Amino acid sequence: MPKRSILHMFDPMPNNSPFDINMALDAGFDVLMPYSNVKLENVHHLTQDIIFSRGPSGAKKTAIFIGGRDIGLAIDMLQACKPAMVPPFEVSVFADPSGAFTTAAALVACVEKVLKKHHGKTLDNCKALVYGGTGPVGIATGVIASLHGANTTLIDHLSVDSANDTAKQYNRLFDAHLKGAAARTDAEKAALIEDADIVFCTAKAGIKVLNSLVLSQAKQLKVAGDVNAVPPPGIEGIGFNDFATHIENATQSEKALAVGALAIGNIKYKLQHELLKSLLDTDTPLYLDFRDAFNKARTLFNYE
C-alpha cells in the first residue's frame, strides 16, 4: 500500500484553525494531525520525530504546517524546524499563522497588480501606509511592501510607541525599512494620507478606519486595498468585490482605485491552496513563509 500523505499541524494556540484544516484536506493531504499548545522549544524534537519514522521516500509525503496568531513566533518556529532536519530525512514546512501570510501576500500582490496595470508603477519608492499595521496581517503586509521598495509606515490606532517597536522588531528580523506612526483621530489619519500612494487596510473586521472625510484629504492616492470582509468595509465607499474600481470618496485623487476584501480573499484562497499542494508535489523540501507566499501570489497574476 502506498504511504498516505500526512500534514503535522503545529499550533501554539489551544486549537488549530478550522479554516486551515479545510484548506489542507482540500489540497490533497490524506491525514491531518493537530498539535496544540506547541512551544518554540518543542519544535526541534517534534520535527525529528516526524522525519525519522517514514524513510526518505515517506518524508516526501510528510509536511509540517505552522499556525497560531503570532507571526514572529511562527517565523521562529519555521526557523527552528530547519536545523532539526537530517538530510535526506527532511520534510517541507509552511508557516501561515491565522492565514496572515497568505492574506498579506494576496493583498500586496493585488495592489501591485493594479498599480502596474493602471498607473504603470511598481511598489518601488511608493509611499505606503498600513492601517492596522501592528496586527499579524498588517505586519506581514508591511514587511512585503518594504522589501519590494515601498516607503512603508505601520500605523497603530492607539500608540506610536507600539508602532515604532513593531517596526524596529521586524526591520531587524527581515532587513526591512519600516517606520511607525499612530493615527488616533481623523485629523491624524488625514495628515498621514495626504501624500500616500498606497493604503493597505488590515484593521479589525467591521471597523470603518478611513471615512470619506479622511479619504478626501489624499492628494496622490493610487491604490487602496482592504482585507476586512465584514460590513462596514474599512475604507468607506469601497465594495467587497472591487478590483481596480474608482474610489469616489478620494475626491482629490482622481485615479485612486480600490481592491476589496473578497477580491483579495479569492487570491488568498488560491494561494494557500497552491502552497499546500506544493508541499506534496515538491522533490526538494520547501520552507515557506510570507515572502514565498508573495512570490507565488505574483505568479497567480502571471508575473515572473
Q: Which three cell numbers stand for residue 126?
A: 511608493
Say if residues 150 and 127 touch (Cβ distance below 8 Å): yes
Q: Which is nearer to other proteins, 15 or 57 (CB)?
A: 15
Say if residues 89 and 62 touch (Cβ distance below 8 Å): no
Q: Which is nearer to other proteins, 26 or 161 (CB)?
A: 26
Q: Which is nearer to other proteins, 25 or 207 (CB)?
A: 25
- Left (φ > 0), alpha (ψ -120 to 50) or beta: where does 48 sit? alpha
Q: Which is nearer to other proteins, 268 or 296 (CB)?
A: 268
Contacts of 141 (CB under 8 A, 6+ apart): 104, 107, 108, 130, 133, 200, 202
CB of 26 to other proteins, least distance (A): 6
Question: In 116-143, which positions are buried (b, 16+ CB within 10 angstroms) versus exposed (e)?
Answer: eeebebebeebbbbbbbbbbbbbbbbbb
Q: Residue holding cell 472625510?
A: 213
Query: How large is the angle between the packed helices 160-174 and 136-147, nearest 10 degrees?
Result: 50
Q: Which is nearer to other proteins, 38 or 130 (CB)?
A: 38
Q: How many Å apart are CA 52 and CA 176, to the nearest integer?
A: 36
Q: Which is nearer to other proteins, 25 or 191 (CB)?
A: 25
CB of 199 to other proteins, least distance (A): 24
- Residue 228: is it exposed, middle or buried by C-beta count within 10 angstroms (0-12/13-18/19+)? buried
Binding site for other proteins (CB under 8 A): 14-23, 25-26, 31-32, 34, 36, 265, 269
CB of 60 to other proteins, least distance (A): 20
CB of 76 to other proteins, least distance (A): 24
Q: Which three cell numbers stand for residue 142?
A: 508591511
CB of 15 to other proteins, least distance (A): 4
CB of 218 to other proteins, least distance (A): 31
